[in-house]
Amino acid sequence: MSIATILIATIFVNNYVFARFLGICPFLGVSNKMETATGMGVAVTFVVTLSSILTYFIQKGILDKLGLEYLQTIVFILVIAALVQFVELVIKKMSPTLYNALGVYLPLITTNCVVLGVAILNIQEGYNLIQTIFNAIGSSLGFTLALILASGVREKLELADVPEALKGFPIALITAGLMSIAFLGFNGLI
Amino acid sequence: MKLFKIFKNGIINDNPIFVQLIGMCSTLAVTTSVSNGLAMGLAVVAVLMGSNLVISLLRNSTPEKIRIPAFVIVIATFVTIVEMFMKAYAQPIYQALGIFLPLIVVNCIIFARAEAFAFKNGPVASLIDGLGMGLGYTLALVTLSTVREIFGAGSFFGIPLFGESFQPAGILVMPPGAFIVLGILIGIFNVARRKKATSEI
């Protein structure tokens, strides 16, 4: 698969939120305001790319060599949790401004299934290092796009007259459904 | 009596999907058919009961500061056990659930129960809490997948329900249907709960 195909496929056609259902919790949790959505998106892009590269080397260098593939889930989640802590420490030391912008989102990322999902899918699809990196970038950009689009709609939705029972999460889910229908239109791209 | 209250709490009053709104990813993804929804629900019941029990037994010897990594390891171990078990004895379901089986590790329900319940309560109560929450999750999954399978594919557990002339609404088994049906179900659940609350007053 060429790099362009991977990017288009992961951002639009197989968008992680609308078509693959990964990262729904943060999608519903932080898509209230455009500003927080962008912050979360940047933090996720950063962590997903780093963790994909790291888990790729761990899978090829350690797990495959020693025949320990069945430990994949345990090892990957530990690596991701440690990585998130590490990134938090480094950013805090190096750039307090960036830390203030991303700080709150970083701990939340450990339990974001996009991170573990992308790491496992990279291995399952048999991508090489370059494809892994672009798959990670594409998927997290797709996630960010979904977050920003949804936050735009939800900012307007706060002023709308929604039936009492549907206020909050239910209407957010229905909105996401309608956006997902729009994303189905990208199906013919590849 | 108290144990029954904990059990009922998980299924109805604090239902993880309809009330707490956590663990959405797998809920939306695997509910294309009732059998997938049921299998996913039972897998979560198994993991939740196991992790709640072990975390509760270890709660006095786990230092407060490293509890999160400890939870992660316990949960990941049980997920791996369930994954290997399904791979050996239920290959078709294993294939259908795919990536969402290892992703049980990051399902917020399991973390939330470990942190909010198992770390503070005894092993028996924790086991019952795991069972109740897991069954509450299964109930939500089965409800959602029943609606989606009957109207989206015209079948139930893979058995066709209607005649040849039935045109299923295919959109319901596609991704958008999951969002819309779940949104409406939570709305209905809200209405039902509000009615009950006002009648009790």
B171 in contact with A at a CB cutoff of 8 Å?
yes
Task: Please tell me the predicted confidence (pLDDT) of residue A186.
Answer: 85
Best mutation target among A111, A120, A187 (most B Cβ atoms within 10 Å) is: A111
Share of chain B above pLDDT 90, in %: 33
Helix (H) or strand (E) holding B142: helix B123-153
3-state secondary structure of B122: coil
Share of chain B above pLDDT 70, in %: 99
Q: Please give the Cα distance from B51 to B126 (Å, whole number).
A: 9
Task: Please tell me the predicted confidence (pLDDT) of residue B111.
Answer: 84
Task: Please tell me the predicted confidence (pLDDT) of residue B78.
Answer: 94
Task: Please tell me the predicted confidence (pLDDT) of residue B155.
Answer: 80
Q: Residue B1: which pLDDT band, with cuts at 50, 70 and 90? A: low
Task: Please tell me the predicted confidence (pLDDT) of residue B38.
Answer: 92
Q: Residue B201: which pLDDT band, with cuts at 50, 70 and 90? A: low
Closest CA–CA distance from residue B181 to any residue of chain A (Å): 8
Domain with B160, as residue range(s), is: 2-200
Q: Which tokens is A66 given?
A: 């020693």
Using one digit for the tens of pLDDT, what is the confidence trace for A93-125? 887 877 776 666 777 777 778 888 899 888 888
* Whether residue B99 has pLDDT greater than 90: no
Q: Please give the Cα distance from B40 to A179 (Å, whole number).
A: 26
Q: Residue B45: which pLDDT band, with cuts at 50, 70 and 90? A: very high
- Region B103-124: mean pLDDT is 87
- Residues A30 and A162: beta-carbon distance below 8 Å: no
State the SS3 of chain A.
CCHHHHHHHHHHHCCCCCCCCCCHHHHHHHCCCHHHHHHHHHHHHHHHHHHHHHHHHHHHHHHHHHCCHHHHHHHHHHHHHHHHHHHHHHHHHHCHHHHHHHCCCHHHHCCCHHHHHHHHHHHHCCCCHHHHHHHHHHHHHHHHHHHHHHHHHHHHHCCCCCCHHHCCHHHHHHHHHHHHHHHHHHHHHC
Count of domains for chain B: 1
Nearest CA in chain B to A113: B106
CB contact under 8 A, B25 and A24: yes
- Residue with more model confidence, A160 or A32: A160
Q: Please give the Cα distance from B17 to B144 (Å, whole number).
A: 11
Q: Give the torsion sign (CA, B27, A70, A110, B11).
A: positive
CB contact under 8 A, A77 and B22: no
Using one digit for the tens of pLDDT, what is the confidence trace for A132-149? 999 999 999 999 999 898
Task: Please tell me the predicted confidence (pLDDT) of residue B62.
Answer: 85
- Region B173-177: mean pLDDT is 86
Closest CA–CA distance from residue A98 to any residue of chain B (Å): 25
- End-to-end, the C-alpha distance of chain B in Å comes to 24
Q: Residue B200: which pLDDT band, with cuts at 50, 70 and 90? A: low
φ, ψ at B165 (rounded to 5°): -75, -10
* Number of neighbours of residue A79 by Cβ within 10 angstroms: 16
B159-160 and B155-156 beta bridge pairing: antiparallel
Q: Please give the Cα distance from A7 to B143 (Å, whole number).
A: 36
CB contact under 8 A, B177 and A177: yes
Task: Give the CA distances from residue A154 to residues A34, A35, A37, A90, B79, in Å, rounded to whole numbers and listed in that order.
Answer: 9, 12, 11, 34, 35
* Whether residue B164 has pLDDT greater than 80: no
* Whether residue B80 has pLDDT greater than 80: yes
Nearest CA in chain A to B108: A111
- Judged on CB neighbours under 10 Å (0-12, 13-18, 19+), B79 is buried
Average pLDDT, chain A: 85
Rg (CA), chain A: 17
Share of chain A above pLDDT 90, in %: 14
Closest CA–CA distance from residue B1 to any residue of chain A (Å): 33
Task: Please tell me the predicted confidence (pLDDT) of residue A165.
Answer: 81
Find chain A residues with C-beta within 8 A of B103's C-beta.
22, 113, 116-117, 120
Residues of A at the B interface (Cβ-Cβ below 8 Å)?
18-25, 28, 70-74, 77-78, 81, 110-113, 116-117, 120-121, 124, 163, 165-166, 169-174, 176-178, 180-181, 184
- Residues A12 and A146: beta-carbon distance below 8 Å: no
Residues in contact with A133: Cβ distance below 8 Å, sequence separation at least 6, in sequence order: A49, A52, A53
Average pLDDT, chain B: 87
- Residues B100 and A121: beta-carbon distance below 8 Å: no
φ, ψ at B159 (rounded to 5°): -95, 125
Task: Please tell me the predicted confidence (pLDDT) of residue A104.
Answer: 66
